[in-house]
Chains A and B, each alone.
Chain A
Amino acid sequence: MRIVRSGQLKIIFILTGVNILIMAALTYLSPTFMTYGNITAVMTRMSELGMLAIAETIVLIGGGFDISIGAVMALSGAVLGTLHVMGVPFYLSIIIALAAGIAVGLLNAVLVVNLRLTPFIVTLATMAIVRSVVYALLKGNVLTELPEAFLNLYYVYVFKLPLLFVILVATAVIMAIMLKKTILGRRIFAIGGNEKTAYVSGVYVKRIRYFVYCLSGFICALAGLLFTVRIRAVIPDAGLNAPLEVITAVLIGGTTIYGGKGSILGSLLGILAMYLLLNGFSLLGLNPFWEVIILGVILIVVIGQEGIIKSFRAPFVRTRA
């Protein structure tokens, strides 16, 4: 079974190699790196951003853009916590939290599809809106009153792997199969590759776009639940840096911002590389703010590599926001 397209294979190989290199270097530099505790800690930490990366990958493949991902993640946690404090049954709060994510996706979809607005600005605006709702719900406070049974999911292990990581892998596999093996998934690729061609070939472009944004909202909401379990609290600033981290990882993984290309495996390898580096920084005692600097540089280098070569030949380089 072919999991990735042949064009993506090269990127997957390179990324796998990079990950192995980082692991080798960290094993050499730090005695605590290759311990069971540290490896599972990295797995747990990458779970929620991994989910966001899956969502972003699907949206980008479909030719869209979503920077409200981090805010939606914060929203689902905030809704969950607020409803629980209000005394709503817990399973119901979870359902409503997930529904809140889908609702934001729906709002994005309506604005992008029906009003034909630029996805970037739309999601920038919804990000501001959702974030302000989160602050208003939590009144800027951290909320720790949550059922023990829910928080203890953190300690659940499946085949010696943390449950949060297993959920991430399961979601990734389901979404990868959806993208590669179902008609729906192929149509997402088709729309991202060339919307007009897809439209005249009989694809219901609008419906699929609706589906993509709602799916993204749902996965981000799920990520919010994982995040809540991981840090055992609901915080208003959850996912504040997520747009940069996730978009960088996804672009490193071979997905393009122009749509029609990309793979979930690549995105996850990108996230893994990022977290291995982060883990290395903390093991080696470096300032964590180096992370954003390095991420920014990687983002520009990765996305600009073709442009660098081109720009010294072509007299004119087309750039568009």
Chain B
Amino acid sequence: MNDLAGKNTIISSLRDVFKVREAPIFIYVIVMIAVFSSTIDGFFSMKNFEIISRQITTIGIVSVGMTLVILSGGFDLSVGAILSFAINIGGQGIVFGWPIWIVYPFMLALGIILGWINGFLITRLAVPALIITLGTMNIYRGITMVITKGVYITPIPSVYSFIGRGYIPFLFYAAVLGIFTFATLKTRFGRNIFAIGGAEESALYSGVPVRRYKTIVYIISGFLSALSGLILVGKSGFVQPQAGLGYELNAIAAVVIGGTSIFGGSGSVLGTFLGSVMLGIILAGLTMLAVNPYWQGLITGVLIVFAITLDSLRYLKR
């Protein structure tokens, strides 16, 4: 992963990309596109790709946060709940008539705070992140339901839908991808995340401030969930208490399909992007083939099992 030589970084990182993890998934994506384009009329069109790009952004952004969490050896089941909390509680600001430049930072701040709570609990208690985030997921969702009483916030001013128009969501997604690809591959932050996920104790004894980095990872995950919420509000034009339901499953699916190891320590943001694209293409293709949407869970589940089997085989080989 890290390249001590310092020279030929571009070439070696290119080699990293095509040698191990992302190559197969990249090929699958190409094959998928080819298969669907040849069997479905109108699949290979700008219109359809715009639809797919819009569909994958919200879960895609959440998945980037999930990638960092899983890379650091953790887990975050509360992403969907944070998204819902941020837009619903932050959305009360819309009800009060606050201006957009206060509401947006407020929503993002809520995401950061909830992420920090996750990180704080996980690093202070000797308990698996899984159980903590199972708990916080329900606390956040419960608070959202108690405060909103299950009521939608609609209509909302049209300025909020600017962020959800056309390719704008995808631009946000691309920016998030760019930032975190760079952060994981080229910064000390990224190296330390990989180190913690690979061997937490070794990282600690090598002087990595493990707690601080793990907390930061959950904060990033919370922030990205809230950002994804803003875009979701922009796309849908209302704020819904049940927003983000099941996002955790789809995000985990995108991450593991993208080749990130659930044991932590290896994987990439780029892989997760390809995983999200793959899920998006499959779902779009099946929708166009008029397959009942109830089967989506089945497909996601089977893909997860398939991906972790590959991961486990890789793990056993080592």
Contact = CB atoms under 8 A, between A and B. Distances in A.
Interface residues of A, number: 52
Given A128-B300, A136-B294, A289-B146, A300 B249 contact: no
A317 to B, nearest CB: 5
Nearest to A297: B139
Interface stretch (A186-194, A215-223, A272-280, A303-311): A303-311
A318 interface: yes
Nearest to B147: A289
Contacts, number: 171
Contacts of A291: 142
Given A128-B301, A139-B294, A115 B312 contact: yes
B125 A321 contact: no
B20 to A, nearest CB: 20
B137 interface: yes
A166 interface: no
A97 B135 CA distance: 31
B294 A247 contact: no
A120 B316 CA distance: 18
B309 A296 contact: no
Interface string A108-142: 00010001111011101111110111011001100
Contact of B264 (A122, A311, A316, A321): A321
Contacts of B142: 289-293, 296
A311 B127 contact: no
B125 A317 contact: yes
A136 to B, nearest CB: 4
Contacts of A244: 134-135, 137-138
A310 B124 CA distance: 9
A72 to B, nearest CB: 13
A320 interface: yes
B200 A318 contact: yes
9 contacts: A118-B262, A121-B256, A244-B134, A257-B128, A296-B137, A303-B125, A304-B121, A317-B125, A319-B128
Q: Closest 3 CB pairs between A and B?
A: A132-B297, A307-B125, A129-B301
